[in-house]
Structures are given as structure tokens and as C-alpha cells.
């Protein structure tokens, strides 16, 4: 699936983006995002003495879960995104509703959609037996996202650790902060900027859609009524659109599932960007990276042509995202059960 991408624009893009490409978060001792100093910092060796088998246990249980169902890799990766974009990477997304908490699981982006909670429960239960109240749920989610990426054939990165768990959730934050499939590009850019993530991070992290599935309800608008005039999205390649209409009717079938990358839906590669290049991005939020901005278009072309560069930047941007406003030191707690505060 070779494509000619115009070397001129790629070279120009590279020069223009040298600075942002070097801005992905550092690996050790980074005091996350925009949360300010909170009594500690994150580093990969955080559990080396207190729970030396922590990473091994997470990796083993994630591997078993992905072996049972390949889609789980994408689900665990998405869980991390939906956690970090609301109040920072603090495991607030895992909390069930209780007397004082309205769960984020019921928000528009998460309801009947977010998955992987049982895998996190299993990891937590195992860790509690080995080293009670030591490894936070927030760190479990972050490690599981990295391990899922690696299992799907994506890059490995060192995960800075030492996050603590939130004492509450924010359903309003979940409804408003997480980028939606039909958001405009300026809206998505703004939502990333609020998390101190730049344009390079946005396009690289969107590459997580190289694995996983999406529901009909997330892209139906593109097939039948993109701009409210009863017409389909003109940027959607017509034969692909016809294929999608076959399984996503005008009404009904909301939960029918389609691969985000129709070519290699379980392999972490750069075909997501090649699909967008040919008008075959599944979600509107995917395709607009190519059609609505010369800057994001240049990055799509860059990653479509250079898989190694995409994988390197994805790892950097994942570290940067994982460092959004962590609770450290004496803030928050280490939950015994990821679904409830202690």
C-alpha cells in the first residue's frame, strides 16, 4: 500500500515541527502536566522496592486478557485516555456511583462504550494480595495502556509511576473534556490544549485508532446527514461509505461495531494515517485531521510515510499525556478497590 506523499511538504513539516517533536514528556522525575508541584514526582522505579513484581503482574494479566479478546488492547488504551482527560490521570474513571459520587461511566463518551474495568479489577485484586495498598489504580491503568500497545505490536516506553488515586469523579468533566467523534478540529485542538498537549500530540495520539472498534452511532452522521442537509460527508470515499451503510442503517443498529482501521484492526501500525490519506478514516474526527488544517495534514502525511517516526512520537506523547495533573505525595490515596474510595 505504497503512497507518494510529496517529499517537499514532508521536509518542510519536519523542519517546522522539530521543536514540538522534541517536546514529548521526559521519562523520569516529571511533575506532570499543569497540576503544579503536589508533593512528589513520577519515575519508572517507583515500585521497585515496595512492590517489585508490580509491572510483571500487570503485564501478565493484560496479556491474558488480550489473548482472550484482541479488542481488549484498544479498550485498555482508551480507558487511559478517558481517565487522563478528566481531572488528570487519577483513576477517577474507574469509580462507581455511590452516595457522594456520580460515576464518569455514565457520561456520553463512556456510557455503553468504555470497557476493560474487569481487567483492571483483576490486576488490582492480584496486587492487593502481593503488596496491599501499594500500587495505585491510576498507575495500573497507565501501565495497562502501555502493555496493551506493546502487545498489539506498538512501541514500548518507560512509564513514570507514583500516581495516587482521586477521591472523586467528574461526570461534567467527562461530558465536556473528552474529544468527541463529531467535534470540529478547533474544538479538538482546544480540548488537547487544555491538557497541555499540542498539535503533534493530537495527531500522534489519534493514531491509537489504528486498533479497536467503533459503534455505528459514532459515525452515522457522516453517512447520511453530515452538515444537516441530508447529504453524506463529501470527504468520505464513496465505496467505503457504501460499505459502511450496509452495516450502519439510518436508524437502529447503534451498537453495530466497525474497525477503526479496516486494513489491520488488531495491529498497531501506521495504516490509520494511510486510510485517512485515501478518505477512509472511519470517524469524522479522524478524517478532519487531513481535510481541515494544513498543519495536521502535514503530520498525517509524515506518519503515513514514516511508521518509525509515528511510533516514536506516539510513545513520547503517551508519556506526556500520562503526566497530566497526577496526584502525588499525600494527595489522593491508594484505593483498595478501584471502584470505590477507601
State how far the Cα of 31 lies from the Cα of 233, in Å rounded to an integer: 42
Which residues, 6+ apart, have CB-to-CB distance to 94 below 8 Å? 83, 117, 120, 137, 141, 338, 339
Q: Is 48 annotated as belonging to a binding site? A: no
Q: Is 165 annotated as belonging to a binding site? A: no
Q: Is 134 annotated as belonging to a binding site? A: no
Q: Is 96 annotated as belonging to a binding site? A: no
Which residues, 6+ apart, have CB-to-CB distance to 324 below 8 Å? 32, 33, 34, 35, 84, 85, 88, 89, 195, 196
State how far the Cα of 104 lies from the Cα of 113, in Å rounded to an integer: 12
Q: Is 209 annotated as belonging to a binding site? A: yes
Q: Is 183 annotated as belonging to a binding site? A: no
Q: Is 86 annotated as belonging to a binding site? A: yes
First to last CA, the chain: 52
One of 80, 82, 176, 196 is an active-site residue; which one? Answer: 82
Active site residue 82: yes
Q: Is the dihedral of CA 171, 176, 177, 178 positive or negative?
A: positive
Q: Is 90 annotated as belonging to a binding site? A: yes
Q: How many CA atoms lie within 13 A of 290 on its CB side?
A: 24
Q: Is 104 annotated as belonging to a binding site? A: yes
Enzyme catalytic residues: 82
Query: Which residue numbers belong to the known binding site for Ca(2+)?
Result: 83, 86, 88, 90, 92, 104, 210, 261, 269
Give the residue ranges of the annotated binding site for heme b: 209
Which residue ranges make up the annotated binding site for substrate? 179
What residues form the annotated binding site?
Answer: 83, 86, 88, 90, 92, 104, 179, 209-210, 261, 269
Amino acid at each position: 500500500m505504497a503512497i507518494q506523499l510529496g517529499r517537499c511538504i514532508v521536509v518542510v513539516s519536519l523542519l517546522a515541527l522539530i521543536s514540538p517533536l522534541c517536546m514529548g514528556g521526559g521519562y523520569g522525575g516529571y511533575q506532570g502536566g499543569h497540576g503544579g508541584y503536589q508533593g512528589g514526582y513520577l519515575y519508572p522505579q517507583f515500585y521497585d522496592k515496595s512492590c517489585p513484581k508490580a509491572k510483571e503482574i500487570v503485564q501478565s494479566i493484560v496479556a491474558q486478557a488480550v489473548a482472550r479478546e484482541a479488542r481488549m488492547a484498544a479498550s485498555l488504551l482508551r480507558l487511559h485516555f478517558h481517565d487522563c482527560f478528566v481531572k488528570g490521570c487519577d483513576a477517577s474513571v474507574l469509580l462507581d456511583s455511590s452516595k457522594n459520587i456520580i460515576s464518569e461511566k455514565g457520561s456520553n463518551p463512556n456510557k455503553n462504550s468504555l470497557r476493560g474495568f474487569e481487567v483492571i479489577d483483576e490486576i488490582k485484586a492480584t496486587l492487593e494480595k502481593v503488596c496491599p495498598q501499594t500500587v495505585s489504580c491510576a498507575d495500573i491503568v497507565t501501565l495497562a495502556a502501555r502493555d496493551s500497545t506493546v502487545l498489539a505490536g506498538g512501541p514500548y516506553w518507560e512509564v513514570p509511576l507514583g500516581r495516587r488515586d482521586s477521591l472523586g469523579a467528574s461526570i461534567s468533566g467527562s461530558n465536556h473534556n473528552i474529544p468527541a467523534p463529531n467535534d470540529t478540529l478547533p474544538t479538538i485542538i482546544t480540548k488537547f490544549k487544555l491538557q497541555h498537549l499540542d498539535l503533534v500530540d493530537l495527531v500522534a495520539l489519534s493514531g491509537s485508532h489504528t486498533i479497536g472498534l467503533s459503534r455505528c452511532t459514532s459515525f452515522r452522521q457522516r453517512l447520511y446527514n453530515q452538515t444537516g442537509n441530508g447529504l453524506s460527508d463529501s470527504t468520505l470515499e464513496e465505496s467505503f461509505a457504501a460499505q459502511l451503510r450496509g452495516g450502519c442503517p439510518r436508524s437502529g443498529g447503534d451498537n453495530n461495531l466497525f474497525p477503526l482501521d479496516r486494513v489491520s484492526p488488531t495491529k498497531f501500525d501506521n495504516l490509520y494515517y494511510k486510510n485517512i490519506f485515501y478518505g477512509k478514516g472511519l470517524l469524522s474526527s479522524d478524517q478532519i485531521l487531513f481535510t481541515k488544517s494544513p498543519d495536521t495534514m502535514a503530520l498525517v502525511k509524515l506518519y503515513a510515510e514514516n511508521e518509525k517516526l509515528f511510533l516514536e512520537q506516539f510513545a513520547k506523547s503517551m508519556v506526556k499525556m500520562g503526566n497530566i495533573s497526577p496526584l502525588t505525595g499525600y494527595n489522593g490515596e491508594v484505593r483498595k478497590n478501584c471502584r470505590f474510595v477507601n
